[in-house]
Amino acid sequence: MYNETLLMMPGPVPMPESVRNAMTKQAINHRSKEFGACYADIVRILKPVFGTTNDLLVLSGSGTAGQEAAIGSFAKGKKVAALVNGKFGERLGQIADIYGEAVMIESEWGHPLNLEGLKEALENGAEVVTLVHNETSAAILNPAEEVGKLARKHDALFILDAITSIGGDVVEADKWGADVAIVGSQKCLAAPAGLAAVSVSQRAWDRLSEKRPLYLDLKKAKKSADGNPMETPTTPAVPLFLALREACKLIEAEGLENRIARHHKMSAAVRAAGSAWGLSLVPQVDALHQPSNTVTGFFYPAGVDDSQIRGACKKMGIEFAGGQDRMKGKIFRIGNMGIIDTPEILATVAAVQMSFKKAGYKLEGDGLAAAVEVLSA
């Protein structure tokens, strides 16, 4: 990746050379056996990554398109309990309020979910529950299994946004009772942005909304995908499908367990660096909530300017994320999604440490040494 910016973001992420090359091929007929075989490969490989045997559909659109397809297809006119402890949980609630009636069950960003509030909403007739599994805005991993149990206990559909965890952390959609699960292509799958994959249970199909979005109608997507060859109802982003297939093949070659273990080790190294520096993690954890394993967030110490730190790193060719909305200027977030490995983590930690020094702020300890200890174990 010489002479290229190293993206240490919570998406988009660096893409392997073979994935990039897959997009340069000549156009193919999206109604052909060749495209159908590409689609089938993606589905075959992604089902175990989702932890599902349910239908799996690929949409041309970002993760937000997957969110809207799920809510628009299964929550039209329904009462939706939307769990919120970050920006993307909030977005799910906003979409739900367009198609139905959203009950926003809010916590401070990065704080544990209000599960008692969820129970109350379900007891008061909520028919659908939405949750962001890995809330990157606050770098917190939420308890999808616990939420799934509550939803099933009250016979509610469970829509799980696993956009930034599928392919980088353990996701067991079927075991957790997720009737719909969603991933975005440009996150842990390390493919280009612009595709979303959505798994759908039979319980969800049985509760399909009568009126649905035109472009994001999952019933139409299923009808086309059930054909031979597999197709999409409208023209797909063919180069992105070809790239996603290559990215999926790389996941298969690495092995899902190995890939998840790598993500866990990389995030542990970043957390160790932050601890050595004396920085506070953004998420407030408890027995059910954990720090994210695909993006790590730290609060800035008082008096440190976000633009100084991230700006200095960007000049060194390394780009990571700041805070969003209410957390803007207060936190920074280092992603380790996709193909990120030891060299990228060490380069990023060293760049952050140098940037703090250049800004005149004295950190407590040596974060680079702490990261090396984790990575060399």
Q: For 69-100, what is each residue's pLDDT tens digit?
A: 999 999 999 999 999 999 999 999 999 999 99
Mean pLDDT of 50-59: 98
Residue 3 has pLDDT above 90, yes or no: no
For residues 60 and 47, what is the distance between their CA atoms, to the nearest angstrom? Answer: 18
- Asked if pLDDT for residue 233 goes beyond 60, the answer is yes
**High-pLDDT (> 70) share of the chain, %:** 99
- Name the band, by pLDDT with cuts 50, 70 and 90, for residue 212: very high
pLDDT at 66 over 50: yes
Instruction: For residue 27, name the pLDDT band (cuts at 50, 70, 90).
Output: very high
Q: Please give the average per-residue pLDDT across 171-198, as a whole number.
A: 98
Q: Do residues 39 and 352 make contact, with C-beta atoms less than 8 angstroms apart? A: no
Amino acid at 228: N
pLDDT at 103 over 70: yes
Cα torsion at 296, 282, 326, 295 (round to 10°)?
10
Mean pLDDT of the 28-39 span: 97
pLDDT mean over 142-161: 98
pLDDT of res. 1: 46
| DSSP assignment letter at 60 | E
The residues with which 219 forms a beta bridge, in sequence order, are none
Mean pLDDT of 101-108: 98
Mean pLDDT of 161-186: 98
pLDDT, mean of residues 7-26: 97
Tokens of 238: 């063919």
* Coil, helix or strand at residue 117: helix
**Nearest-angstrom CA–CA distance, 269 and 342:** 9
Nearest partner of 158 among 275, 53, 80, 252, judged by Cα: 80
Give the whole-angstrom CA distance, residue 308 versus residue 300. Answer: 11
Mean model confidence pLDDT for the chain: 97
Instruction: Characterize 116-150 residue by residue with b for buried, 16 or more Cβ atoms within 10 angstroms of its Cβ, and e for exposed.
Output: ebbbebbeeebbbbbbbbbbbbbbbbbbbebbbeb
Report how far residue 140's alpha carbon sits from residue 164's, in angstroms, rounded to the nearest whole number.
11
Decide if pLDDT at 2 tops 90.
no
286-332 residue pLDDT tens: 999 999 999 999 999 999 999 999 999 999 999 999 999 999 999 99
With a cut of 90, say whether residue 204 has pLDDT above it: yes
